Amino acid sequence: MNNLVNFLKQADIFFQLTPTQLEMVANIGQERTYAAREVVLDEGAASKELYIVIQGEADVLVNPALVGGPESRKSEVTIATLRRGQSFGEVALVDEGLRSATVRAAQKGTRLLVIPRDKLLMLCETYPQLGYRLMYNLAADLAMKIRNTDLRIRETLLYGQKT
């Protein structure tokens, strides 16, 4: 448990949480290990979990054909590679919508901490200071991801499709 708490200290979305708060988060999570190229979640699937990379890497992929992309781009495209301490699945905490991308383990032995939405929200409601700090950190993380995506879109529009 101490190893997991020490790991959570280093994850951006748990910035400024106290050791006790980190321990509560660690208690509701479950570690899962994935083989290289094993799918963690599928684009368009329902899911109500937040994931944090403990070890290894996870590739985030989108399928352009799902939105009528050019015929030549029928296969999935990797849009990000997430590493230790980075998270995915945050949007499902807010809207319970379908997954906007596929995530696949990029390395053998990729370990993820999986936190169920219902348990995390119950923790946030029970401990409002924890909930405020966590939601603030999640909003900051999502804002950074949106800004990076915006930059990539602008680069694509300005410089054209990279091959």
pLDDT at res. 66: 64
pLDDT at res. 72: 47
What order of strands is seen across the sheet that includes strand 30-34?
Answer: 30-34, 110-116, 49-55, 87-88
What order of strands is seen across the sheet that includes strand 39-41?
Answer: 39-41, 102-105, 58-62, 77-82
pLDDT at res. 68: 61
In which domain, by residue range, is 67 found?
A: 2-159
The more confidently predicted of residues 53 and 159 is: 53
One-letter identity of residue 63 = N
How many structural domains are present in the chain?
1
pLDDT at res. 100: 86
Most confident of 32-41, 82-91, 96-105: 32-41
Q: What is the pTM of this model?
A: 0.86
8 contacts: CB under 8 Å, gap ≥ 6: 14, 17, 22, 25, 26, 52, 113
Main-chain dihedrals φ then ψ at residue 125, nearest 5 degrees: -70, -35
Percent pLDDT > 70 in the chain is 92
Measured from the Cβ of residue 134, the count of other Cβ atoms closer than 10 Å reads 23
Does the pLDDT at position 74 exceed 80?
Answer: no
- Residue 163 CA to residue 147 CA, distance in Å, equals 23
What's the mean per-residue pLDDT of the chain? 89
**pLDDT (mean) for 117-130:** 96
The more confidently predicted of residues 116 and 76 is: 116
pLDDT at res. 163: 47
The neighbouring-strand residues paired with 59 are: 81, 104
CATH number at residue 121: 2.60.120.10
DSSP state of 127: S
- Torsion, Cα of 17, 83, 62, 77 (10° steps): 160
pLDDT at res. 110: 97
CA-wise closest residue to 106 among 93, 88, 91? 88
pLDDT at res. 153: 82
The neighbouring-strand residues paired with 46 are: 98
**pLDDT (mean) for 110-114:** 97
pLDDT tier at 28, thresholds 50, 70, 90: very high
